[in-house]
Copies of this chain bind each other. A is one copy, B any other.
Amino acid sequence: MDDRTVLKNTGLRGITVASTKISDVQGTKGKLIYRGYLVQDLAENTSFEEVIHLLLHERLPTSGELSALKDKLAGYRALPAAVIDALKTMPHTALPMDILQSGVSLLAHHDPDIRTVSRDASVEMGLRLIARFPTMLAAWERIRNGKDPIDPDPGLDQAANYLYMRTGEKPDTETARSFDIALVLHAEHSFNASTFSARQVASTRAHMYAAVSAAVGSLSGDLHGGANVRVMEMLLNIGDPDNVEAFVNRILDEGKLIMGLGHAVYKTDDPRAGIISEMSRKIGERIGETKWYEMSKLLEKKGKAAFKDRKGTDIFVNVDFYSASFYYGLGIPVDLFSPIFAISRVAGWAAHVIEEQYAEAAPKPMLYRPESEYVGEYCGPDECSFVAMDER
């Protein structure tokens, strides 16, 4: 079968495995579309809560619907006491993505709908997870620093609440809104690795929590959610804008990649990158430390030029490139950058799990059960004869 040659060990790259109504990534045009709307338009005009409604309820909310959704999220936001107790048993040295993965499956034990198989129950489970990701992450950051978690404030939305629960100080409007925009921009990106994991687990008819826990595991990988961490580590390593040019030349001499430049899908600048670049600039100005933004800007310019010069082709910034300096400007510890990604992307995961479980149109999704080609041991044309222990 020809497909064997085409597909084997290529990570399904370029292969369309399913249809979806959730988002469209047009790599050559540099467009990212959530249920019909350009992500730029959403970033400019909507809050993360509106995007949650769009992704899970399939359309932008009316004012009444938005208000009802905000009330529901506020009601779901606090963690069960037993989950906070469990978080307190965890070693402070644990990897934050592992904490988040544990937390998701701990929350499953307390969900009243966990045994209910219906679209409505799945939506509620998704909303509970979306509501609680920021609470859990903020609680963990405080617990590992020896502090008590701070209860969510029902008057604040997802973005402002997270910043508030980290520190106990309510963020100013502009800071809160910029983080809100970051959540809008990271919420959804079709069949990326973690979303594919979530859908794959959901295809066995596992519940929302099992699927989202798998997605968190997938996002924890260096090649996926770890990318913004590695951008920041690179910036910290460069240390000063004066070192950028030498750094670029050294990396390219060594045949390596500049973190945050290049993307599997986009063949132009990532549509989210320009927006986050501006947010990075502004947060730098607000906190009086513009170095990381400036270094990023210079690195983009020098990196693109050097790449073009050496390879003869263009390379483009991706979403991780400026989100690193933006999160750093917000004061978020570098090892929490991937979990920060997760508190937004969980909205996309939930939408995909619901679509995988309850897509109404034919053809419905099927259990993902691919084949592999055995290239291992054989003895002659077929299996080996068993070898007794004293003859091994």
Residues of A near any B CB (own CB < 8 A): 1, 3-4, 6-24, 31, 33, 35-38, 41-42, 44-45, 50, 59-63, 66, 82, 85-86, 89-91, 94-95, 97-99, 101-102, 105-106, 108-110, 114-115, 190-194, 196-197, 200-207, 209-211, 213-214, 216-226, 264, 361, 363-379, 383-390, 392
Q: List 26 A-B contacts (CB under 8 A).
A: A15-B370, A16-B372, A17-B371, A18-B370, A19-B372, A20-B376, A21-B376, A35-B377, A36-B378, A41-B385, A61-B392, A86-B86, A86-B90, A95-B114, A190-B372, A191-B372, A193-B204, A193-B368, A196-B369, A200-B200, A210-B217, A210-B218, A210-B221, A213-B213, A221-B367, A224-B367
Which chain B residues border A390 with CB–CB below 8 Å? 63
Point out the residues of chain B lying under 8 angstroms from A213, CB to CB: 101, 105, 213-214, 217
Chain B: minimal CB distance from A324 (Å): 18
Closest to A375 in B: B19
**Quick check: A386 and B42 within 8 Å, CB to CB?**
yes
Other A-B contacts than A94-B108, A197-B214, 20 sampled, CB-CB below 8 A, are A3-B6, A9-B365, A9-B366, A12-B371, A20-B376, A21-B377, A23-B374, A36-B378, A37-B383, A41-B386, A82-B91, A86-B86, A101-B210, A190-B372, A191-B370, A193-B203, A197-B197, A204-B219, A206-B218, A223-B367
Please judge, given known A-B contacts A15-B371, A89-B82, A197-B197, whether A210 and B203 are in contact too, CB under 8 Å: no
Look across to chain B and name the residue whose beta carbon is closest to the beta carbon of A195: B372
A218 and B196 within 8 A (CB): no
**What residue in chain B is nearest A66 (Cβ atoms)?**
B389
CA distance A7 to B15 in the complex (A): 8
Closest 7 CB pairs of A and B: A204-B221, A21-B376, A11-B366, A36-B377, A210-B217, A24-B374, A214-B214
User: Which residue of the partner chain, among B37, B106, B217, B225, contacts A214 with CB atoms under 8 Å?
Assistant: B217
Q: How far is the CA of A306 from the CA of B187 in the complex (A)?
A: 51
Contacts of A59 in B (CB 8 A): 392
Known: A106-B90, A366-B10. A16 touches B36 (CB 8 A): no
A62 to B206, CA, bound (A): 40
Complex contacts, A368 vs chain B, CB 8 Å: 11-12, 193, 196
Q: How far is the CA of A298 from the CA of B43 in the complex (A)?
A: 63
Contact A200 B191 (CB under 8 A): no
A13 contacts B366, CB within 8 Å? yes
Residues of B close to A365: CB separation below 8 A? 9, 11
Q: Is B210 touching A201 in the complex (CB atoms < 8 A)?
A: no
CA gap between A59 and B379 in the complex, in Å: 13
Chain B's closest residue to A62 (CB) is B392
Complex CA gap A37/B102 in Å reads 37
The chain B residue with its CB closest to the CB of A117 is B222
Q: Give the shortest distance, in Å, between A29 (CB) and chain B (any CB).
A: 9
Query: Assuming the A-B contacts A11-B367, A16-B3, A369-B11, are A204 and B190 also in contact, with contact meaning beta carbons closer than 8 angstroms in the complex?
Result: no
Q: Is there contact, CB below 8 Å, between B389 and A60? A: yes
| A385 cross-chain contacts in B, Cβ below 8 A | 41
Closest approach, in angstroms, between the C-beta of A14 and any C-beta of chain B?
6
Nearest CB in chain B: distance from A158 CB, A: 18
Contacts of A372 in B (CB 8 A): 16-20, 190-191
Is A95 a contact partner of B82 (Cβ separation < 8 A)?
no
Per the bound structure, the CA–CA distance linking A110 and B95 in Å amounts to: 10
Q: Are A193 and B37 in contact (CB under 8 A)?
A: no
Are B106 and A384 in contact (CB-based, < 8 A)? no
- The answer to whether A371 and B16 have CB atoms under 8 Å apart is yes
A204 and B66 CA atoms in complex are apart in Å by: 36
Alpha-carbon gap, A23 to B209, bound state (A): 30
Select from chain B the residue with minimum beta-carbon distance to A102. B105
